[in-house]
Amino acid sequence: MTDRIPVDFWFDPLCPWAWLTSRWVLEVERVRPVEPRWHIMSLYVLNEDKDIPQQYRELLANAMGPVRVLAAAANKYGGETEGGESAVLGRLYTEIGVRFHNRAELGEDRSKERFAEVLRRALEAAGYDAQLVDAMDSTEYDDEIRRSHATAMELVGEEVGTPVIKVGETAFFGPVVSPTPKGEAAGRLWDGVLLVAGTDGFFELKRSRTRGPVFD
């Protein structure tokens, strides 16, 4: 049996592009010998000292809440779950992401109350204590979140965001893709990404987006 290759994936659950990339990684897992390992990072932390548009800053006002809930769940259940904290993060990320993005349950209401309502449903669907939603207002795990975020940034630099992926000694931001490739198409993209990202001296390949996130 071929050993699976660890794939470290840093995400903020609020980012629709990271969500699409995470679903691609799960597709890759079906057709290539890889093992996703989930880690949290934070759009709030990424942008807290940057000059960003006020509208985006307002969007990020409650962005730490979901990341804190993920951290709290990983700490509570990681020790008793096969796969540890990564497995807990991956399970809860799926339930949060489906609600944030595919079902658009947040809608236009980005209030703390609306976030809490949606996160509570995600926790229950994942089989975790719904009271963990109270972690939205807690700073208990903020140092841990910042350490995880810093690890991702040390790999790829401060000029990019979420997601960050690391395979062996190779790390990169992205890919940004919409919609998520399925089956062998996902595998071929994986092969190509690893090829370019692993090339010494390769830094960037980019074109303007011509569509928004497509959740299928």
Q: Are 44 and 200 in contact (CB under 8 A)?
A: no
Mean pLDDT confidence for 124-153: 97
The amino acid present at 131, given as its one-letter code, is: Q
The string of DSSP letters for 89-152 reads HHHHHHHHHIIIIIS-TTTT---HHHHHHHHHHHHHHHTS-GGGGGGGG--TTHHHHHHHHHHH
CATH number at residue 24: 3.40.30.10
Residue range 164-186, pLDDT digits in tens = 999 988 899 999 999 999 999 99
162 assigned to some structural domain: yes
Helix, strand, coil percentages (3-state) for the chain, rounded to 5, are 55, 10, 35
75 assigned to some structural domain: yes
112 assigned to some structural domain: yes
| More confident site: 97 or 160 | 97
Cα–Cα dist 49/85, whole Å: 29
205 assigned to some structural domain: no
24 assigned to some structural domain: yes
202 assigned to some structural domain: no
Range(s) of the domain holding residue 138:
5-197
> How many domains is the chain built from?
1
215 assigned to some structural domain: no
Residue range 86-116, pLDDT digits in tens = 999 999 999 999 999 999 999 888 889 999 9
Neighbouring residues of 155: CB distance < 8 A, sequence distance ≥ 6: 164, 166, 171
Strand-pair partners of 82: none
Mean pLDDT confidence for 195-204: 87
210 assigned to some structural domain: no
